[in-house]
Structure 1
Amino acid sequence: MTEVDTRELRYFIAVAEELHFGRAADRLGIAQPPLSRAIRRLEHRVGARLFDRTGRGVRLTAAGEVLLAEGRAALDAVSAAVRRARRAGRPRRSLTLVMKPGGDAGLLPAILAAYAARPGAAAVDLVFSQSERAAMLRDGRADVGLLHHPQNDLTGLDTEPLRTERRVAALAEGHPLAARATLSLADLAGEPMAQWPEAAERGNGPRVEEAGQMWQLVVLGRAVALVTESAAERPYRGVVYRPVTDAAPATLVLAWPAESRSRDVAEFTAAARAALAPALTGQT
């Protein structure tokens, strides 16, 4: 079978998402006839029909559904490879670490110091994101990141556990539940739980994009939030914290792309492991 090129995949994905050749052609900035010919060539290369064409439009076949999922992943992998190669070719060697503000449980200074002490350590550039950390690792915008398990989707990533913490509920001072010493998940059922875009958990409360927004909503009684114990160590005026006895703990992990062959990533991971070894050994 002849190999499929990335241009054909982009054309196919546009049609698959629009389910209309005319709209897909407009989106791609090309005429419809060459787009139709490209899709027919692609179907010939694949050896299967990708679309059912009807008078009302088009719909994906079973083969098309598979190619859409795999094709997206393939294009993402190509884009990630180009980004990583571009960074590797720069005169200044650097490692990009993505995290959310305050999301290191106080561990990052020791990790950075341990890595900097290694011969040939690259410069570490910090970038911050509340909602795209895993995506940035997958698409090559970042090399390593700090995420939480099982709260974040770690598909396609390798991880090194750093610290496991219990979680507490953040409530407005005047919230009825604030009078209790401890809470359960059943106590929080029906409460407007703040939702992060990246989180695998889904609440029924407002969607939040950054921490300041979440804290303000909690203070106003518009949301409650489950946060780690280390987050609760940073008081916020008008917010109280109560342990949630049956909430799944959160494990802070160092994450990187599973296919990474970067020596700098391997060295950074080893430095993190060495720096935190005493604390990790003492964890229960």
Structure 2
Amino acid sequence: MIDLRSLSYVVTLARRLSFARAAEDLGISQPALTRAVQAVEKRFDVRLFDRDRSGVRVTAQGQAMLDAAAVLLANANDLERQWDRTAKGQSGDVYFGMAPMPARALLSATVLERLKAAPGVRNIAVVRNVDALWPLLVAGEIEFFVAAEGQVPEAVPVRAEVVGTFPNSLIVRRGHPLLTGTGTDARFPILTSSRSGMSHAAGLEDTADGAPHVIEDFGALVQLTASSDAIWRTSSYAVAEEITRGLLCELPRSRGNAAKNIRMMMYRLERRSQSVGAKSLAQIMRRLTRQLSGQKW
């Protein structure tokens, strides 16, 4: 099999039509270039160049072969650049998943930063509950997923890294009876986005009007909470914008259960290498979580 270096020698000679100038471009001696060209011609039993006192000319048969070699070299150079960009996290695809709550808090800002820093990388994110994300991870369809701690089977060989700590919050509309002190003995609907993790109604037994309503769509949850007396169990990080605008409010934490905070984790399979793109996403999410923790609403 002919190597790319030999191809670069003959293609350079075809372009320069001078052994002296081609050797100078290649950084080798003229005898070395001559031997390399002769080796290629002998290997394929073909004459690529005619040589006489007037100079060097490409033969008719050689022209077709050298044209094909030039295309191959260009493709090899493109491949090398692509591999280099991919290795540096500047190209390729990153497939990952997020549970709805951390996605609401972090996904758009994280991807926006990656679009600016690495426009050549394609981000493919799926937002689903953990019971749907886990099979995707095992099948290799996503590289990692982000979800609350404690939702992955203990027997599964996964590596978990902390993204940050989220408050376990109770969210209500502005003017809710529990904020004004007029609803201390009343019962209210409880909303959640998942059956697991932060979705339980522990600590709300005296306030809950029945079992929690599970609504996976965060847009619908925002509208329901803003337009009713329902209590939404989520994290204030997931509705930071709505709280800042005054549309929603956080109840005092004393009404929650003993677990005031919950760790948000990045889960990936054990012994599976982490791509540069995945590492960059994790770094951004950690920084954004720290920024959220410093906000005052």
TM-score w.r.t. length of structure 1: 0.48
Between Structure 1 and Structure 2, the one with more helix by share is: 2
- Between structure 1 and structure 2, the one with the greater Rg is 2
